[in-house]
Amino acid sequence: MISPSKAAEVLAIFNGQGAMRMLGARIVQIDDGMAEFELDFRDELSQQAGYFHAGVVSTLIDTAGGCAGFTRMPEGSDVLTVEFKINLIAPAHGEKIVASGEVIKSGRTLTITQGKVFAHKNGVATLCALMQQTLISVARKTQST
């Protein structure tokens, strides 16, 4: 279980991401070292063959990994993605995708996560992407525009 204050912080990250609202992503669950999000298909999320765009799949799993990692970072910190690598192993074709990230190693500076994305089509879930990600914990800044 994560603490109430950590829960508030990770929700603030998710809610603070315009990109999650644009996509229409929903939180399935967030807990210590893990986060799971889902996203319904619509045309604006597609690539040319009508599947979820690889970039949309990447955005959802990058955020799931980032939130998972953030649950293990000190309060008052912010999380940035250093890098990630994603294999699109099957067309992301279906009514929705579900992306789950989990922490593999959480260090003082860097946190490593892995993630999986499943495409759900007619009640069948197919693994469609695998991700490996490096996150960095940084001091939180007050945003200025």
Q: Give the binding site for its own copies (CB under 8 A).
A: 12-13, 16-19, 21-22, 42-50, 53-56, 58-60, 62-63, 66, 78, 80-91, 104-105, 109-110, 112, 114, 127, 130, 132, 134, 136, 141, 143, 145
**DSSP secondary structure letter of residue 53:** P
| Neighbour-count burial of 4, counting CB atoms closer than 10 A to its CB (0-12 exposed, 13-18 middle, 19+ buried) | exposed
**Minimum distance between the CB of residue 30 and its own copies, rounded to whole angstroms?**
14
Residue 98 in contact with residue 118, Cβ under 8 Å? Answer: yes
Residue 61 in contact with residue 86, Cβ under 8 Å? Answer: yes
Residue whose CB is less far from its own copies, 56 or 98: 56
**Minimum distance between the CB of residue 65 and its own copies, rounded to whole angstroms?**
10
**Minimum distance between the CB of residue 8 and its own copies, rounded to whole angstroms?**
13
CA separation for the pair 47, 42 (Å, rounded)? 11
Residue whose CB is less far from its own copies, 4 or 141: 141
Residue whose CB is less far from its own copies, 12 or 28: 12
| Residue 3 CB partners (closer than 8 Å, separation 6+) | none
